[in-house]
């Protein structure tokens, strides 16, 4: 068998021939691991900052989490939108157009990240006040944001975009390794920068500098990995990996492809933005009580992301398989992929509820020893984790529609979830029952979201997949 034929076989085996359970695991496991490492390195900052037992420093770092995640929404715009389209184009056997989509997505990612970093620098003070930073937390929050967002924004966004694009051709292992490597380096650099290189009182600056440097290293890895993949596929135009090469900026994708990138990418970015707007509202409402409550909920919002990131990793691993088989009109394989990923995610969610209910207090103690912060956070975490399966189901349906290229459905579900259910529920329950209402809002709102998602998907499935089956 020729090298070119072998490369072609390897690039489509996951999408077309590998048993579905194995294919989903092959794509999802590296993605889940990378999601967990990203979460761990995000929590590592909070963990090491918490060693100072300074709740104001912890609160300052927590305030920046939504802004950091907003920067990642830019990676969703280019990476999810472009990546989903690349998988569909490969399913349609259109590698040349997929190559142009890849190139445009990379340029879009770099340009949007640069603009966002500059905007944060220019509007730093009003932005920090909008997030709820007070006299005790402003300097900590702004210093952390300078390194993580202003200096590190471009490599952070670009590395996450490249991970999505690499995953779109079935190379989930390489994508997961790059993100994982960056996270591990961040964890290693945190104590070095915080407690060795910088003086007392500047621990949060050290954490920010470590995060920036680790993302730069991850970005460099992805650039090197892409060069290696291009070298291996120089002779194989049919190899899916060959689409991951830059072309001249003048070689734009077709209008239909540009529409396809933004049709899926914009809903992905907006959904992420609204997710983080929800976190901003929570921080703002908690800051109206006191900075201790703000520090407690900041830790909880990070801790609850462990099962959530596992679910997102499963969805990200599932989506290229769904997109490829949807375009190839292989409905049986697509549906089997959906069922397996759904069951896997719900099992993980159930296990997480059990573990968090049992060990909530110990989890809080990992991050901080302040008794009042631990007491508040333990109660918050035991309630918030109940929403885990509901949150997974909400994201799961959004990723399904992204895989289908149906951005309007993903956008509708995302906007409805946050602007109609979650955020109004935060204000309503806070007004009705106070601080506990903020904590219970997620379970209440996502119950409504899941009901809506199931109704929308069932309606779409009956109408659209029935038509596709008849056309075959």
pLDDT of amino acid 414? 87
pLDDT of amino acid 25? 87
Whether 411 contacts 418, CB under 8 Å: no
Average pLDDT across the chain, whole number: 83
pLDDT of amino acid 1? 39
Whether the pLDDT of residue 234 is over 70: the answer is no
pLDDT in tens, 245-297: 777 777 788 888 888 888 888 887 888 778 778 877 887 888 778 778 877 88
Residue 178 CA to residue 321 CA, distance in Å, equals 21
Backbone angles phi, psi at 14, to 5 degrees: -60, -40
Mean per-residue pLDDT, 111-138: 84
pLDDT of amino acid 397? 93
Whether 311 contacts 349, CB under 8 Å: yes
pLDDT in tens, 25-64: 888 888 888 777 777 766 676 677 777 767 777 777 777 7
Residue 10 CA to residue 22 CA, distance in Å, equals 14
Lowest mean pLDDT across 107-121, 187-201, 396-410, 431-445: 187-201
Whether the pLDDT of residue 444 is over 90: the answer is yes
Residue whose pair of structure tokens reads 């730093």 in the numeric block: 124
pLDDT of amino acid 10? 52
pLDDT over 90 percentage in the chain: 18
71: CB partners within 8 A, 6+ apart:
113, 116, 117, 149, 153, 156, 157
Whether the pLDDT of residue 380 is over 80: the answer is yes
Mean per-residue pLDDT, 65-71: 77
Radius of gyration of the chain (CA): 22
pLDDT of amino acid 403? 85
More confident residue, 307 or 46: 307
Residue 452 CA to residue 449 CA, distance in Å, equals 5
pLDDT over 70 percentage in the chain: 92
pLDDT in tens, 166-188: 888 878 888 888 888 888 888 88
Mean per-residue pLDDT, 339-368: 88
pLDDT of amino acid 389? 93
pLDDT of amino acid 9? 43
Mean per-residue pLDDT, 325-330: 85
pLDDT of amino acid 390? 94
Mean per-residue pLDDT, 430-448: 90
Domain positions in the chain are 3-471
Residue 125 CA to residue 146 CA, distance in Å, equals 11
Residue 279 CA to residue 196 CA, distance in Å, equals 32
The closest alpha carbon to 83, from 316, 255, 288, belongs to 316
Whether the pLDDT of residue 413 is over 80: the answer is yes
pLDDT of amino acid 452? 95
pLDDT of amino acid 467? 57
Whether 298 contacts 383, CB under 8 Å: no
pLDDT-derived band at 6 (thresholds 50, 70, 90) equals very low
Whether the pLDDT of residue 109 is over 70: the answer is yes
pLDDT of amino acid 32? 84
Q: Please count the other Cβ atoms lying within 10 Å of the Cβ belonging to residue 96.
A: 13
Mean per-residue pLDDT, 374-381: 86
Residue whose pair of structure tokens reads 């599932």 in the numeric block: 318
Whether the pLDDT of residue 457 is over 90: the answer is yes
Whether the pLDDT of residue 241 is over 90: the answer is no
For the chain, the three-class secondary structure string (H helix, E strand, C coil) is CCHHHHHHHHHHHHHHCCCHHHHHHHHHHHHHHHHHHHHHHHHHHHHHHHCCCCHHHHHHHHHHHHHHHHHHHHHHHHHHHHHHHHHHHHHCCCHHHHHHHHHHHHHHHHHHHHHHHHHHHHCHHHHHHHHCCCCCCHHHHHHHHHHHHHHCHHHHHHHHHHHHHHHCCCCHHHHHHHHHHHHHHHHHHHHHHHHHHCCCCCHHHHHHHHHHHHHHHHHHHHHHHHHHHHHHCCCCCCCHHHHCCCCCCCCCCCHHHHHHHHHHHHHHHHHHHHHHHHHHHHHHHHHCCCHHHHHHHHHHHHHCHHHHHHHHHHHHHHHHHHHHHHHCCCHHHHHHHHHHHHHHHHHHHHHHHHHHHHHHHHHHHHHCCCHHHHHHHHHHHHHHHHHHHHHHHHHHHHHHHHHHCCHHHHHHHHHHHHHHHHHHHHHHHHHHHCHHHHHHHHHHHHHHHHHHHHHHHHHHHHHHHHHHHHHC
Mean per-residue pLDDT, 91-113: 87
Mean per-residue pLDDT, 6-35: 75
Confidence (pTM): 0.76
Backbone angles phi, psi at 449, to 5 degrees: -65, -45
Mean per-residue pLDDT, 146-161: 89
pLDDT of amino acid 237? 44
pLDDT-derived band at 4 (thresholds 50, 70, 90) equals very low
Whether 239 contacts 4, CB under 8 Å: yes
Burial of 198 (0-12, 13-18, 19+ CB in 10 A): middle
pLDDT-derived band at 232 (thresholds 50, 70, 90) equals low
């Amino acid at each position: 068998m020729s090298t070119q034929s072998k490369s072609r076989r390897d690039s489509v085996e996951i999408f077309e021939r590998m048993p579905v359970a194995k294919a989903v695991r092959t794509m999802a496991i590296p993605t889940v691991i990378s999601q967990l490492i990203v979460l761990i390195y995000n929590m590592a900052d909070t963990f090491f900052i918490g060693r100072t037992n300074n709740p104001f420093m912890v609160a300052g770092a927590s305030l920046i989490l939504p802004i950091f995640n907003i920067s990642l929404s830019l990676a969703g715009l280019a990476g999810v939108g472009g990546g989903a389209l690349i998988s569909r184009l490969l399913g349609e056997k259109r590698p040349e157009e997929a190559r142009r989509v890849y190139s445009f997505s990379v340029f879009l990612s770099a340009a949007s990240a640069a603009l966002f970093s500059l905007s944060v620098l220019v509007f730093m003070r009003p932005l920090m006040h909008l997030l709820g930073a007070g006299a005790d937390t402003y300097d900590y929050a702004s210093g952390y944001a300078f390194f993580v967002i202003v200096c590190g924004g471009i490599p952070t966004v670009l590395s996450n975009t490249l991970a999505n694009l690499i995953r779109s051709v079935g190379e989930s292992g390489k994508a997961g390794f790059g993100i994982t490597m960056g996270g591990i380096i961040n964890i290693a650099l945190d104590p070095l920068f915080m407690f060795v290189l910088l003086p007392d009182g500047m621990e949060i600056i050290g954490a920010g500098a470590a995060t920036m440097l680790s993302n730069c290293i991850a970005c460099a890895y992805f650039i090197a990995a892409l060069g290696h993949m291009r070298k291996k596929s120089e002779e194989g135009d049919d190899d899916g990996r060959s689409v991951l090469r830059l072309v001249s900026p003048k070689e734009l994708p077709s209008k239909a492809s540009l529409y396809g990138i933004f049709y899926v990418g914009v809903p992905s970015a907006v959904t992420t933005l609204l997710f983080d707007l929800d976190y901003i509202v929570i921080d703002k409402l908690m800051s109206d009580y006191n900075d201790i409550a703000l520090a407690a909920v900041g830790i909880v919002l990070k801790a609850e992301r462990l099962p959530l990131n596992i679910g997102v990793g499963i969805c990200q691993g599932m989506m290229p398989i769904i997109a490829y088989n949807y375009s190839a009109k292989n409905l049986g394989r697509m549906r089997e992929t959906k069922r397996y990923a759904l069951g896997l995610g719900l099992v993980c969610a159930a296990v997480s509820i059990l573990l968090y209910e049992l060990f909530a207090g110990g989890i809080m103690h990992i991050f901080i020893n302040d008794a009042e912060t631990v007491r508040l956070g333990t109660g918050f975490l035991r309630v918030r984790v109940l929403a885990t399966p509901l949150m997974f189901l909400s994201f799961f349906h959004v990723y399904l529609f992204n895989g289908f290229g149906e951005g309007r459905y993903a956008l509708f579900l995302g906007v409805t979830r946050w602007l109609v259910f979650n955020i109004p529920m935060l204000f309503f329950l806070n007004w009705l029952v106070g601080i506990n209402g903020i904590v219970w809002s997620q379970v209440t709102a996502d119950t409504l979201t899941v009901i809506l998602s199931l109704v929308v998907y069932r309606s779409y499935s009956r109408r659209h997949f029935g038509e596709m089956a008849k056309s075959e």
